[in-house]
Amino acid sequence: MTNETPVLEARDIVKELGKGAGKVMALKGVSLKLVPGELTLLMGPSGSGKTTLLSILGCILSPTSGEVRLAGHSTTGLGPEQLAELRRQHIGFIFQSYNLFPTLNAVENVRIALDVLGQKGYPAAARAEEVLREVGLGHRLQNFPSNLSGGEQQRVAVARAIAASPSIVLADEPTAALDSENGHAVMALLARIAKEQNRSVLAVTHDPRTLGYADRVVRIEDGKIVGEERRPEGVNSPEITDLTKKRRKANA
């Protein structure tokens, strides 16, 4: 997969936060490429710059210097509306805290991602139901977040992230709020999405439970990439295969 054209590329990213005596160099010349079909983990201690980098890759923050190229487009010089359009077209986000609307059921929470793209009515509802079944929630379509477990809420968030078929999925600490069983289930799901749907998935994490699911692990410290390793057996984990079988059986 390393010979594929990157769907997202960061080149020599520098990011300064704050001003004057309080100015901090959060990123110090970071370069990173993401290709389709891989689950990449970005790991580092608190304050290492990993969340700042994720925000820049997701076109939420702009770098102080350096270039981000998303689906062949440079983000340099783009305004907020143009960056937002790139996000909508190409990126799905998954957050640690799920960010679900408590007054909306599972289908309605997923439909939000389609509404912002102008997809409404029956096709949007059908697509929302389809992706919820893909993540093993075919029996929870009408449930509200308060009636879902933490693992189920995170799977609704995953469904929302992939509903519009983005080429890139960015996840910020997706297992941090989950117990061991649900953490493994969510990581297996992300690995399956990368492999079976040929998406590029990047997860920021400090959770060692996630390592067995990765194709690649990138380590960041003090605003710099300090190491990278490939784990070719990651997506072939028996846990992923077993989870896939269980999901398909449950939705049959």
* Secondary structure in 3-state letters for 173-208: CCCCCCCHHHHHHHHHHHHHHHHHCCCEEEEEECCH
Count of CA atoms in the C-beta half-sphere (13 A) of 16: 8
Query: Given this model, what pLDDT does residue 116 score?
Result: 84
Answer yes or no: pTM beyond 0.85: yes
Query: Given this model, what pLDDT does residue 120 score?
Result: 87
27-45 residue pLDDT tens: 999 999 999 999 999 999 9
Query: Given this model, what pLDDT does residue 107 score?
Result: 97
Query: Given this model, what pLDDT does residue 134 score?
Result: 92
- Collect the ranges in the chain with pLDDT lower than 70: 1-3, 232-252
Cα–Cα dist 143/115, whole Å: 20
Domain edges within the chain:
8-99+155-235
CATH value of 8-99+155-235 in 3.30.1330.60, 3.90.1170.40, 3.90.700.10, 3.40.50.300? 3.40.50.300
201-237 residue pLDDT tens: 999 998 888 999 999 999 999 999 999 998 765 444 4
Helix (H) or strand (E) holding 250: helix 238-250
* DSSP string computed for 106-164: HHHHHHHHHHTTT--HHHHHHHHHHHHHHTT-TT-TT--GGGS-HHHHHHHHHHHHHTT
Query: Given this model, what pLDDT does residue 231 score?
Result: 76
Residue type (1 letter), 72: G
